[in-house]
Amino acid sequence: MRHQEQLPIRSLLSEWYNANLLVDMADPGNINSRPTVRTFAPELWGEVDAFVALHSSTYKFEEREKRALGGVVRHFEKAGIFRDKAARSIDALTIEQADMNRRGYSAAIQGRETAQDIEAAISELYSCLDCTAKTVRAIYRKDSRGFKDSTSFLFTSAEKITGEFPAYLKDLFVTAGWEKPLRHIRDELAHYGTGHCDLTRNDNSTIRYLHLGIKFDGAPLEIQDVIAWFDAQKDKVNAFLGAVFRFLRSTLKSGAITTVCGMVDGRMLVRELDPSENPITFQSGKCIAVQWIENPELPTCPFIMTCGAYRRARPGIDPATVLASKLNPEPWAPTA
């Protein structure tokens, strides 16, 4: 058997990781498999994610306003789920159409189910805008006049708001010409009738959506390729959300917030961040979990060797010596 002190430090690190930090994928159901979960991943953030994570030192939202802010991303994700479900129904619609051609009639159950998914996706997409409007109003209503609690008002009459409401945001809302038809469809679906889906005529690879109750220029709404149409609307909403929350992020003041980096054996890895720093990366901030991750009797951070937040908290400390102490523990006392 080799003596540990004769091993190079990299081998020590590897052995420690394998023994203490990695999930045993051969037994994923074992709750004692000592998992490590990373939750701080700013490289994956969009503009909304960044604002949600960093706003707390600048803006204090009421409970309902917090739910509205959280709803921006959640409704956007939900819209995509319903969209994908509708897109997967193409084979079932093909079978239903063949049944119609053979028998001369069909219960059209799949057509109704696909329409329900499309309509749910549209409603969820507009809910992103509702939540965004509520967030913007929560920030600016106290220092503005004429700021109605209405999403449609923001998109049609933002220029009537006076006071501290920024001209940039006003322009974003009033120039979003794609919002009105989307709102018209959403309102009909929420308060009145529903539509139907089938295969696009002469094209069995796309889905048509028809709603006789929704009129544009006097004609019923008919969308020949509703999945492509929805994707276009989703892209417009996504770009709009990015512009709004990029601006809101630029208003964040310098300060200190704490955020959870991840979990190791049920213990939280935590760092302190300045939300005005841009860009924020995994190297940003200062580790405030150093006391326990340096304790030889406890697991350490799996990112300690490369983490700028740890080095900022412990300048001059070689993280390799911390990991080595896990394999050769000595009586431990917290460092200053």
How far apart are the C-alpha atoms of 112 and 115, rounded to whole Å?
Answer: 5
Q: Which two tokens stand for residue 134?
A: 């509520």
| Residue for token pair 């794609």 | 178
**Where does the pLDDT of residue 126 fall: very low under 50, low under 70, confident under 90, or very high at 90 and above?**
very high
Share of the chain above pLDDT 70, in %: 86
**Where does the pLDDT of residue 5 fall: very low under 50, low under 70, confident under 90, or very high at 90 and above?**
very low
List phi, psi (to 5°) of 300: -110, -175
How far apart are the C-alpha atoms of 83 and 155, rounded to whole Å?
Answer: 25
pLDDT of residue 8: 36
pLDDT of residue 27: 44
**Where does the pLDDT of residue 298 fall: very low under 50, low under 70, confident under 90, or very high at 90 and above?**
confident
Distances (CA, A) of 109 to 23, 99, 112, 255: 45, 12, 5, 56
